[in-house]
Amino acid sequence: MLIGVLKEAGAGERRVAATPATVERIRALGYEVVVEPGAGAGAGFSDPAYETAGARLGDATGADVVLGVGAPPPERLGRLRPGATVIALFAPAADPAAAAELARHPLTVLSPDAVPRISRAQSMDVLSSMANIAGYRAVVEAAHAFGRFFSGQVTAAGKIPPAQVLVAGAGVAGLAAIAAAGSLGAVVRATDPRPEVADQVRSLGGEYLPVAPPGEEAPAATGYAREMDDAYQAREAELYAARCREADVVITTALIPGRPAPRLITAAMVAAMRPGSVIVDMAAANGGNVEGTVPGERTVTENGVTLLGYTDLAGRLPAQASQLYGTNLLNLLRLLTPGEDGVLVLDQDDPVQRSVTVVLDGTPAWPPPPVAVSAAPAPAAPAAPPAPEERPPSPRRRFAAVALAALVLFLLVALAPAALVPHLTVFVLAIVIGYYVIGHVHHALHTPLMAVTNAISGIVVVGAMLQIGHGGPVVTALAALAILLAGINVFGGFAVTRRMLALFHRS
């Protein structure tokens, strides 16, 4: 089968559905690939690069499978070969009416942005890939508009405090924004209606701001945020009103699948912010989280707050975005090509394939049946019954063991040569003292203690080397064995110590 890669028709769209790297891997699945001339120019991929990867240049509308980023316009869909399969971001959840219109064409339409959030579909999750890039780019745009340091500075001219960043929504985009802002040295705080993201925020160096009191928050059942009740929204408004006044940068990412973006920041909250503050509304394309945001535009309020409503944040890093998007489509094609023979097979019994199917051979197939998804933390396992308490050995048994050990030691001393007795005494005392010393050392001190054991092992090596060749073959054999074992301890100790210390070095 022939796969065609479209040149994007949308104004300002610089991404491409396949890169030279993904073209090679698509061809490994048995497909032939045709790329429209100039399709990758906006992302920095030249036509010769595609030809080197094994693709040919030409018209992609006659292909069996057509790949695109944005949804092709109706006139372009009409030029496709009847029965072809089109894979692009049609966003059927946001516009069900447009999804129904697609059925007017004798095509099979797949929309990878409808991939369910289940474990085995993560490699095809286009929304997460693009949100990750958009969250990073949102911080870059905010830093450019802010025009000041994000990190704190102490100079001869005075002290500069770090920027205060508030992230509304800790999904994929929000977490990427938290990581990027934190890496620039800002103080980052974040809020989200899903309590399970609190640990993720903290792991990236941010501070999680809960809206609801502990115990009243409910985990999301789908992995996405959901619309909250009036009481929650009232507490949320109080939190944002208080935090926006002290924030230098606010980044909003809140979206509800299939619904307009919730309004989080009101005009009054914007008016209370300091002049020079920046708000990046990442939900501008869906109506915006911030009152006054203009989709696709940069506006400045009367009190000097900059509102960024850019809707192409992921496309502002076109090479990286194209590579990730192309990899997502490649993984989807792998799922659709079970025989790796260049034949696309669409299995409607597979929940992933069924979820992305908008139109099947000209028949509407949207919406798909719901997929059971749970992002809630796993319930805690029931506590194991307490182990039966071990009774200490009886005093009679302990006295018998001590008496037996003393008898063995007495016989050993009585039969041993006189020169061996002091050495044997030191050996036994070293075993006893070493057992109690090492057994009571905290785990955090094992690495420093290993340096001491290396020194002791070194003394053993030196002593054993002095015994080789003296006292007969038995002494020589024992000395060689001592050198071997002590040498293993020394070199192993240094290797482990080096690896432990490497954990504290920053790459």
Q: Please indicate whether residue 233 is annotated as part of the active site.
A: no
Q: Please indicate whether residue 122 is annotated as part of the active site.
A: yes
Are 52 and 18 in contact, with CB atoms under 8 Å apart? Answer: no
Are 299 and 270 in contact, with CB atoms under 8 Å apart? Answer: no
Residue with tokens 């993201």: 197
Counts for the chain of helices (H) and strands (E), in that order = 15, 17
Catalytic residue among 117, 137, 194, 354: 117
Tens of pLDDT along the chain (507 residues) come to 999 999 998 888 999 999 999 999 999 999 999 999 999 999 999 999 999 999 999 999 999 999 999 999 989 999 999 999 999 999 998 888 888 889 899 999 999 999 998 888 999 999 999 999 999 999 999 999 999 999 988 888 888 999 999 999 999 999 999 999 999 999 999 999 888 899 999 999 999 998 866 555 555 544 555 556 778 888 999 999 999 999 999 999 998 766 788 999 999 999 999 999 999 999 999 899 999 999 999 999 999 999 999 999 999 999 999 999 999 999 999 999 999 999 999 999 999 999 999 999 999 999 899 886 655 555 555 555 655 555 666 777 878 887 888 788 778 777 777 777 777 777 777 777 666 666 665 555 555 556 666 667 777 788 888 878 777 788 888 888 888 888 888 888 777 777 766 766 654
Catalytic residue among 122, 151, 153, 374: 122
Three-class secondary structure of residue 369 per DSSP = coil
* Amino acid found at 453: T
Three-class secondary structure of residue 188 per DSSP = strand
Helix, strand, coil percentages (3-state) for the chain, rounded to 5, are: 45, 15, 40
Three-class secondary structure of residue 93 per DSSP = coil
Task: Give the CA angle between residues 60, 65, 71 to the nearest 5°.
Answer: 75
Q: Which two tokens stand for residue 466?
A: 């002095």
Between β-strands 207-208 and 187-191, what pairing exists: parallel, antiparallel or unpaired? parallel
Catalytic residue among 25, 81, 224, 235: 224
Task: Taking the CA atoms of 321, 322, 325 and 328 in sequence, report the sign of the dihedral they define.
Answer: negative
Q: Please indicate whether residue 128 is annotated as part of the active site.
A: yes
Instruction: Enter the DSSP assignment of 17.
Output: S
Q: Please indicate whether residue 117 is annotated as part of the active site.
A: yes
Are 164 and 154 in contact, with CB atoms under 8 Å apart? Answer: no
Q: Please indicate whether residue 129 is annotated as part of the active site.
A: no
Instruction: Enter the DSSP assignment of 71.
Output: P
Are 219 and 194 in contact, with CB atoms under 8 Å apart? Answer: yes
* Amino acid found at 465: M
pTM of the model: 0.71
Question: Residue 411 class from Cβ within 10 Å (0-12 exposed, 13-18 middle, 19+ buried)?
Answer: exposed
Catalytic residue among 15, 31, 125, 200: 125
Catalytic residue among 14, 50, 128, 248: 128
Read off the pLDDT of residues 54-71 as tens digits, 9 standing for 90 and up: 999 999 999 999 999 999
